[in-house]
Structure 1
Amino acid sequence: MENIKHKLTVLAHIAEEFNHKDVTWAIGASLLLYFKGITSEFHDIDIMIAEDDVETVKEILLSLGNIIQSKPNSKYKTKCFLEFHVDGVEIDTMAGFGIIYQDKEYYFPLKKEDIKDFTEVQGIKIPLQSIEEWRIYYELMERDEKVKMIDSYL
């Protein structure tokens, strides 16, 4: 619980900076599932960002922590994937999220108008991607356990 509290404090700090700079962003993956009460844990913070905001996000996160060299994964075709460590927490940012499934490329750019759900952490507004979107992503990523978790929730 202490660890989760720390991660959420880091998230609130990042969110405040992103919101202040008008970045188009939203939480996805396991942290999204955590916020929806689908899972009780998450390891890192996955942030989807608009492709136009990559430089701003990079600048903000570099001012808060450091960038990590990540290994490319052939299952993903994300236009920009950047991994950071901020106060001991792994932050993965993705712009132009892409998944390769059965030799076909699926492209899911984040658009401001697609963000319809929000939560609050320490009084800071946190935009969330939709659970339905993530069910599709997890299905394409062949993450069956996550698909089952979402199906039970829905």
Structure 2
Amino acid sequence: MEKKKKWEKSSTYSTKYFYEYVINGFDVDVMSGFAVNHNNGVFRYIFDNNSISEFKLINGVNIPFTSLEDWYVIYQLIPNRQTKVDMIETYILSNGIKKPMLLERALEGCLPVDVRLKIENILNS
């Protein structure tokens, strides 16, 4: 494809497979078994058909895009992503939750109390 970047293991993630490429000047992460470590354990992201919010045809390839609801949860677990959390939260509060079941499903996983409370609050707004 293009140039494969050297991956340095991080204590933030317990992802089973992770590969990073640079394709036409863009970083592209390819991962499977995505998991984020936090103080209370490990949150394992469930990627299935419900996770896909839309498909976009790019250069003849149908690319699946994951939901803002999933990223709202994930970004709360990754250090230094509060700006993205705030942007997604503002968008969801203004435009509504498209896939509440994804937030409900996340609550079944291993999450810190503060993240759990934020998800419950947004579900109840």
- TM-score over 0.5 (shorter chain): yes
Q: Rg: which structure is higher?
A: 2
For residues 73-132 of structure 1, give each alpha carbon's deviation from its aligned partner in whole angstroms, at most 9, with x where no partner exists: 101111111011223322111111100111401111422453242233356432111100
Match of 2:76 among 139, 144, 151: 139
Query: In the comparison of the two structures, how many residue pairs are matched?
Result: 91
What amino acid maps onto 1:82 in structure 2? Answer: Y
Q: What residue is the counterpart of 1:148 in the other structure?
A: 86
Conserved in 1, the CA contact under 8 Å of 2:56 and 2:63? Answer: yes
Mapped contact 1:78–1:96 kept (Cα < 8 A): yes
Q: Secondary structure at the match of 1:78?
A: coil
2:29 is paired with a residue whose SS is: strand
| Aligned CA distance change for structure 1 residues 89 and 108 (closer, same or farther; 3 Å) | same
- Pairwise CA RMSD: 1.9
Secondary structure at 1:71's aligned position in 2?
A: coil
Matched, 1:78 2:12: no
Paired residues for 1:19-58 under 5 Å:
none
Match of residue 25 from structure 2: 88
Q: Give the match for residue 99 of structure 1.
A: 36
Contact (CA 8 Å) 1:95, 1:109: kept in 2 or not? no
Please name the residue that 1:130 is paired with: 67
One-letter amino acid matched to 2:21 = F
Task: Give secondary structure in 2 for the equivalent of 1:70.
Answer: coil
Instruction: Give the TM-score normalised by the residue count of structure 2.
Output: 0.63
Counterpart of 2:52 in structure 1 is: 115
After TM superposition, what 4+ stretches of structure 1 lie above 4 angstroms from structure 2? none
Structure 1 length-normalised TM? 0.53
Q: State the AA in 1 paired with 2:38.
A: Y
- Give the unaligned 5+ runs of structure 2: 93-125
Structure with the larger RCO, 1 or 2 (CA within 8 Å, 6+ apart): 1
**Structure 1 residue runs without a partner (length 5+):** 1-63
Give percent identity, aligned residues only.
30
